[in-house]
Homo-oligomer: A and B are copies of this chain.
Amino acid sequence: MKKITLAQGSGGSAMQQLIADLFMREFANPLLLEMEDQARIPLDQLTLQGDRLAFSTDSYVIDPLFFPGGDIGKLAVCGTANDIAVSGAIPRWLSCGFILEEGLELSLLERIVSSMARTASAEGISIVTGDTKVVPRGAADKIFINTSGLGAIPQHIDWGLRRIQQGDVILTTGTLGDHGATLLNLREDLGMEGALVSDCAVLTTLIQLLRYQPGVKALRDATRGGVNAVVHEFTAASGYGIELNENALPVKPSVRGICELLGLDALNFANEGKLIIVAARDAAEQLITVLQQHPLGRDAALIGEVVERPGVRLTGLYGIRRSLELPYNEPMPRIC
């Protein structure tokens, strides 16, 4: 079984060969094949699409590398693409930095790279520049991936935290906690394999449906820290409070099962394919109708509202309202 060696990160011929045989082959596109130290993207390709460049980065350190619904490669494309897409831009270009542990099975890297390439190409995303480092055995755990992404924000779109106002409502595009529960189940060996699947997906086409809809104020994808982290960002930035309605939260029975078993809250679980949207109240019904027409928005729902009183509160199943703090920690590390 072929394994990754230190030579493959050395700048010598072993590295050149890995780049040519694997990365260039899988990610092949004209910008990458120019083999310059930097991708050179014609700026008119950006200015045709918008007036602001959206630029974001994420490192992926997830454990395990493969899980129901995805793998670290797919996640590394989806996660960064979504961080671009929530600005209203169409994610078009990604960079990709690998940190590999000496001894990593080559076949595993090949599966991951091919999953990245497949996910990117299905969404019209090109991986245009990259870097590979190999560290000695024990200096990293198998593989870490960083992706940075680019897209142009159309002139007419102005989604952002500063547009949040009292009276706005909070929407989700689907069931909450699927990614976190799937990983938790796998790592803690809770034995619910069949029912749990990560929601890992690129949300560009779903978000595009919102482009010409009035009343959209702010968008986030609810990853690490879950919905709870996102609504806390909304309150911190706006100075308003947010009240969520527990009855309205779409949570799959299997995810609810994991939560009850462990005494955890799906609101704190990571999602990798769900938006939290702040919208004008009078636009909400139309937005939900539009979202539900898309396979990734089928379970879209109104889950809360923006209120004057600061803080985040949750109205429970029996109508009792409690304060929802941002936990100091999350259920587990290396969730993404």
A positions within 8 Å CB-CB of B: 6-7, 9-16, 34-44, 46-47, 50-59, 61, 63, 83-84, 86-87, 89, 93, 95-99, 102, 128-131, 133-136, 138-141, 144, 146, 148-150, 152-153, 160-161, 220-221, 223-226, 229, 232-233, 236-237, 268, 270, 325-330, 333-334
Contact = CB atoms under 8 A, between A and B. Distances in A.
Contacts of A128: 55
Contact of A326 (B12, B52, B152, B220): B12
A148 to B, nearest CB: 4
Nearest to A54: B38
A41 B226 CA distance: 27
A221 B37 CA distance: 9
A101 B150 CA distance: 28
A56 B330 contact: no
A99 B144 contact: yes
B139 A11 contact: no
A333 to B, nearest CB: 5
A326 to B, nearest CB: 5
A43 B41 contact: no
A135 to B, nearest CB: 5
Nearest to A58: B131
B144 A55 contact: no
Copies in the complex: 2
A90 to B, nearest CB: 13
Contacts of A9: 333
A53 to B, nearest CB: 4
A187 B236 CA distance: 46
A1 B144 CA distance: 28
A43 B55 CA distance: 12
B56 A87 contact: no
A86 B11 contact: no
A128 to B, nearest CB: 7
Contact of A146 (B47, B50, B57, B138): B57
Contacts of A220: 37
A6 B134 CA distance: 24
Contact of A55 (B13, B129, B153, B226): B129
Given A43-B50, A225-B10, A59 B95 contact: no
A10 to B, nearest CB: 4
A17 to B, nearest CB: 9
A6 B330 CA distance: 9
Contact of A83 (B15, B38, B237): B38
Contacts of A37: 56, 83, 86-87, 220-221
A136 B334 contact: yes
Nearest to A148: B148
Contacts of A236: 16
Closest 8 CB pairs of A and B: A11-B225, A11-B224, A148-B148, A57-B95, A38-B56, A146-B146, A10-B330, A139-B141
A44 B129 CA distance: 23
